Amino acid sequence: MNKPLRIIILLLVLAAIGGGAWWYLHRPVANDALTLYGNVDLRQATLAFNGSERIAGILVEEGDIVKKGQVLARLDTSRLSPQVREADATVAAQRAMVMKLRNGSRPEEIAQARANLASAKADAANANIQYERRAALTATATISKQDLDTAKATAAVADAKVEVAQSALDLAVAGPRAEELLQAEAQLRGNEAQLALIRQELDDAELVAPFDAVVRSRLMEPGEMAAPTKPVFSLATIGTKWVRAYVSEVNLGHVRSGMRAKVTSDSFPDRPLDGWVGFISPVAEFTPKTVETEDLRSSLVYEVRVFVEDKDDMFRLGMPATVKLLAGEAPKPLPQNADSKATP
């Protein structure tokens, strides 16, 4: 065999090998199922008190199942309760002041002011008559100059009291100024806000569960001083969980949001759970060290979250799981809150 023929045969062999390798890497996925491997993940929350008081009681234990709104722990409220009563009394007093200003003067107060004015006028008239009599006696020199000055001053004082009584009557008839009412109303709103704040602090003395969950950790005990930066419990959600798996770029085109799946674990291989693809990462990443896949030939993978309804609480956090995506079936319609489930 001559040399050119050998070269042609070698090129054909290399071309066949290259074509086979390209087909293997870009081969279509079988219509029955696409298998992914990952770990179970779920939503967790650490709870802490908003206030800084001593813990009076812890009402649940680790492993307890709690319902949304259930009281988990309480703070000592011996200092908060008197503050609430004091603020409540302040609001009541200021509210009464506002009502007084809004209602204005009572008819009895106006009548009293008129009576005081009439009395002052009578005293003034009498004082002026006495002064005039003493002034007439000065011509006969039967009264001293000092008595005349005293009578004159008494008359002037009586006239001034008439003016004071008249002003008091005018104020009683006109009622309070608009500015005084606005000031009292603003003070009332400030007192009510202070009362609401103290009542909220009293409500925050009870630590409640934000959702149905399992108590994973009990981190503080009665007698310890609570603070917003000190978690008291660590909770894990019940129900919807997801498997964090990774799919290679070759198979990414065969995964769609809402695609149905069967999820199994090593502990329950014969009890698959129904699931659906709720999230497909739009960004590629390098293969993480903890990824569990049979094909690591691709260095870039995409994160996929397959959600499952684990009503029997079979899956635990971090448990390895196998996901079989049913590529041949129609995607499952996403629920109303699919967006909220698609992001942890």
pLDDT, position 282? 83
Q: Average pLDDT, stretch 46-64?
A: 93
Q: For the segment 278-330, what is each residue's pLDDT rounded down to a tens digit?
A: 888 888 776 665 555 555 445 678 888 999 888 777 888 888 999 998 865 54
Per the CB < 8 A criterion, the answer to whether 331 and 257 are in contact is yes
Rounded CA separation 222/59 (Å): 10
Asked which of 30-34, 87-91, 142-146 is least confident by mean pLDDT, the reply is 30-34
CB atoms under 10 Å from CB of 275, counted, come to 27
pLDDT at 177 over 80: no
85 vs 20 pLDDT, higher one: 85
> Cα angle vertex 138, ends 133, 142, to 5°?
95
- Report residue 120: phi and psi, to 5°: -65, -40
pLDDT at 136 over 50: yes
Rounded CA separation 89/83 (Å): 10
> Cα angle vertex 31, ends 29, 36, to 5°?
60
pLDDT at 210 over 70: yes
Rounded CA separation 307/241 (Å): 6
pLDDT at 337 over 70: no
The single residue listed with the structure tokens 């062999």 is: 13
Using pLDDT thresholds of 50, 70 and 90, give the confidence band for residue 11.
confident
Sign, CA torsion 150/156/162/164: negative
At 266, list the tokens.
Answer: 């090593």
Q: Average pLDDT, stretch 185-195?
A: 93
The single residue listed with the structure tokens 């006969």 is: 140
> Cα angle vertex 104, ends 189, 161, to 5°?
125
The DSSP letter of residue 266 is: S
Q: Average pLDDT, stretch 145-170?
A: 81
pLDDT at 83 over 70: yes
- Report residue 197: phi and psi, to 5°: -65, -45
The one-letter amino acid code at 101 reads L
Using pLDDT thresholds of 50, 70 and 90, give the confidence band for residue 31.
very low
Nearest Cα neighbor of 303 from 330, 317, 319, 323 is: 323
Q: Average pLDDT, stretch 85-96?
A: 94
CA 94 to each of CA 21, 32, 99, 171, 337: distance values in angstroms, whole numbers, following the listed order: 86, 75, 9, 22, 47
pLDDT at 219 over 80: yes
Using pLDDT thresholds of 50, 70 and 90, give the confidence band for residue 334.
very low
Rounded CA separation 290/245 (Å): 10
Asked which of 6-20, 96-110, 123-137, 251-265 is least confident by mean pLDDT, the reply is 6-20
* DSSP three-state, residue 310: strand
* DSSP three-state, residue 189: helix
Average pLDDT, the chain: 80
For residue 71, give the H/E element and its range: strand 71-75
Q: Average pLDDT, stretch 164-168?
A: 81
pTM over 0.85: no
CB atoms under 10 Å from CB of 216, counted, come to 16
pLDDT at 1 over 60: no
pLDDT, position 338? 40
DSSP assignment of 316-335 equals: -TT-EEEEEE-TTSPPPPP-
Per the CB < 8 A criterion, the answer to whether 185 and 98 are in contact is yes
pLDDT at 335 over 50: no
Using pLDDT thresholds of 50, 70 and 90, give the confidence band for residue 175.
low
What percent of the chain is modeled with pLDDT above 90? 28
> Cα angle vertex 41, ends 38, 42, to 5°?
160
- Angle formed by the axes of helices 80-103 and 178-203, nearest 10°: 160
299 vs 93 pLDDT, higher one: 93
